Amino acid sequence: MIMATIIPTTISMIISYVMTTNSLKERAVVENMNLLYQGRLNLESYLEDMNRNSLTVYSDPDFFRSLYYSHENINASGRQSATLQSINKAISGARQVYLYVDGKREATLFAQDIARKTSDVALYPEIPDLKSHTVSIQPPHPLHTYGFQLAYPYEADQQVFTMYRVIERVPSSERLGILAIDLNMNFLSRISGQLFQPEHEQLYIVNEDGHVMYSGNEATLGRQIQEDWYSKIKESGHKEGHFEYNNKIYLYNNIKTSVSDWTMIKEIPSSYILSSAEKAAFVNISLLGVSLILIIIAMIWISVYITAPIRQLVGLMSQVKSGRMTVDISSDRKDEIGTLHRRFGSMMDTINNLILQEYKLKLANRTNQLRALQAQVNPHFMNNALQTIGTLALEHGMKRIYSLISALARMMRYSMYNTDKPVTLSTELDHIHDYVELQKERFENQFDFRYDVDESTLQVLIPKMLVQPLIENFFKHGMNPLTQDNYIALKSRRLSASIVQITVEDNGNGMQDEKFQALQEHLLLMEEMDLEQLQVHSEIEAEDSSGIGLINIMTRLRLYYRGKSKFNIENNQPHGFRVVLTINVEGETDEGINRG
């Protein structure tokens, strides 16, 4: 019993621990991916806003014209200073804005709320080569003065990242100058600081060249990442995702804007995520130890006080098993063992009563079987009687009467036997011909039966009595006995190798609009049911009605062809009714036989 307790409990704890750790990891991945997504949106919004503000150099025609004049032109110089100041104020976190005009070899720096200018100077040498790029963002670097003298110096460890925009002579690509915007790291710290917990996790924002734009570890700012986990991200080719490597979970998301193609990477130690699961595992192990002590004490008590009455009960059960069904199973005990004795006694009483009921049920079943055999006599008798009358009519030369009686006999025989098996369309059509022959005699040829059947469809298997009720509906509801141009048409054709269409249409009274609409809604409702729901629905319909209507035909059609069928009804104009059955007979021959 101890092993039976320890083994399942240990396995349960292991499974629980594994499932809990996996669940914690999955939940951490989902939550952190959502967090990175929100951070990505904020960063993309900021970078796009910074890009739009830098494009002021193109949207301001006065500024653009000022690039063709030197600083000696007061208006041009003032326009440049005003534009740089506007850009500096518009971009949150901007420290200074630098402008260099190639043609004039002039530079302007707006810093510390003052615009400073210098002439006949080269482009500041620490500005990187932008090559063919018109916009570029330089990784974090120390803040410099672009060669200008400032009122007070910058801190030596002040880090910024710089956005460079090449100013071109539009629409050509001739370069007029360069605009440089130095931005504080504060905005990256503000946004990124909300995305990770520095004491447990690490966050990196890396540009397209692998240089660190932001990191929780300031020592890595501006450096190129060489770690193996970053290579796995680059090799994946995905813009976002996650993976586990060296007991750490890495999540990444792409920050794609018109000025950047950065990757945001979050590093989470697995131990941090699973700390709660490990605590729970320790608690479970402690509980298991306490439980084992209690189990051992309980087993000693059970072996002394419980096993004896249980053996007594087992003895009584053995007597019942040997066939003695009237043993005395009463007990005066008030505990669970006494309850077990009384329940067993109650069960034996129930079994004895069920045995008596079983004998009664067998007797009732024999009676029902006899009645069922008697009920089968009448149809057979009617069929044999019709054959006898037909023979007598033939002997007296009444061939028409013989023909009609023979048709009626065939119809009865067709409907009596194997109603649950499929038949070929050819067999169903023979039955329809007999039915129509009788109706012609009844209505004295007041209607025309039109028959257009493709021979390739004659061997298609269909549920029995599927088409005949559609013909019968014409005589019940559609035919107008006062007119002579009544007709009903039966057509079949192949739409493709596996699709067969059967159409029954007439020019009778049709269906009233209200009834037609109600029927259409009912059929649409049934179309939305799955086959199990349709089966239940058909059983309810069968209890409510004994006839074979359009709804019944649609139900049988869908159930037989497992939903691969269509049932459409139409009111012909100006009058008449049409039913179209479209069925899929691919592989139908074997399946149909098996269903039968």
Question: Does some domain include residue 430?
Answer: no
Question: Does some domain include residue 548?
Answer: yes
Q: What Rg, from alpha-carbon coordinates, does the chain have?
A: 46
Q: Report the CATH number that the domain containing residue 125 is assigned in CATH.
A: 3.30.450.20
Same domain membership, residue 588 and residue 456: yes
Same domain membership, residue 119 and residue 211: no
Take residue 153 and report the two structure tokens written for it.
């110096």
Q: Using alpha carbons, select from 443, 581, 554, 438 the residue that is nearest to residue 508.
A: 443
Q: Report the CATH number that the domain containing residue 467 is assigned in CATH.
A: 3.30.565.10
How, if at all, do strands 240-245 and 159-169 pair?
unpaired
Tell me how many domains the chain contains: 3
Alpha-carbon gap, residue 111 to 123, rounded angstroms: 18
Question: Does some domain include residue 211?
Answer: yes
Alpha-carbon gap, residue 534 to 555, rounded angstroms: 7
Same domain membership, residue 520 and residue 464: yes
| Range list of β-strands (E), 171-330 | 174-184, 202-206, 212-215, 240-245, 248-256, 261-269
Residue with tokens 């596996």: 498
Same domain membership, residue 88 and residue 28: no
Same domain membership, residue 164 and residue 88: yes
Question: Does some domain include residue 110?
Answer: yes
Contacts of 552 (CB under 8 A, 6+ apart): 469, 538, 541, 542, 545
Take residue 571 and report the two structure tokens written for it.
């009111």
Take residue 260 and report the two structure tokens written for it.
């950047």
Same domain membership, residue 43 and residue 192: yes
Range of the domain at 88: 53-184
How, if at all, do strands 94-101 and 174-184 pair?
antiparallel
Q: How many beta carbons lie within 10 A of that of residue 322, not counting itself?
A: 9
Question: 269-304 as b/e, with b when 16 or more CB fall inside 10 Å?
Answer: ebeebbeebeeebeebeeeeeeeeeebeeeeeeeee
**Angle value at C-alpha 125, between 121 and 131, nearest 5 degrees:** 110
Same domain membership, residue 587 and residue 477: yes
Answer yes or no: pTM beyond 0.95: no
Same domain membership, residue 270 and residue 192: yes
Same domain membership, residue 68 and residue 31: no
Take residue 511 and report the two structure tokens written for it.
């269906």
Question: Does some domain include residue 173?
Answer: yes
Same domain membership, residue 217 and residue 96: no
| Range list of β-strands (E), 466-536 | 486-494, 499-506
Same domain membership, residue 577 and residue 537: yes
Show the DSSP H helices in 335-444 as ranges: 336-375, 377-395, 399-416, 425-443
**Angle value at C-alpha 147, between 143 and 152, nearest 5 degrees:** 60
Same domain membership, residue 197 and residue 133: no
Question: Does some domain include residue 393?
Answer: no
Longest dimension (CA), the chain: 136
Domain boundary among 163, 184, 205: 184
Domain boundary among 157, 184, 211: 184
Question: Does some domain include residue 18?
Answer: no
Per-residue pLDDT of the chain (596 residues; tens, 9 = 90+): 667 777 877 787 788 777 877 888 888 889 889 999 998 899 989 899 989 998 988 888 889 889 899 888 999 999 999 999 999 999 988 999 999 999 899 999 999 889 999 999 999 998 988 878 889 999 998 998 898 988 888 887 788 999 999 999 888 888 899 999 999 888 788 888 888 888 888 999 999 889 999 988 888 888 988 888 988 888 888 889 999 898 899 999 999 988 889 999 999 888 887 776 667 767 777 777 787 788 878 777 777 677 777 777 787 788 777 777 777 777 777 777 778 877 888 887 888 777 766 655 565 555 555 454 444 444 555 555 566 666 767 777 777 777 777 777 777 777 766 556 788 999 999 989 988 888 887 787 788 999 999 999 999 998 888 898 899 888 888 888 888 789 999 999 999 988 999 999 998 888 888 888 988 888 888 888 876 666 666 656 654 444 447 888 888 887 788 778 888 999 887 788 999 999 988 755 433 433 43
Domain boundary among 145, 162, 184: 184
Local structure of 330: helix, strand or coil: coil
Question: Does some domain include residue 335?
Answer: no
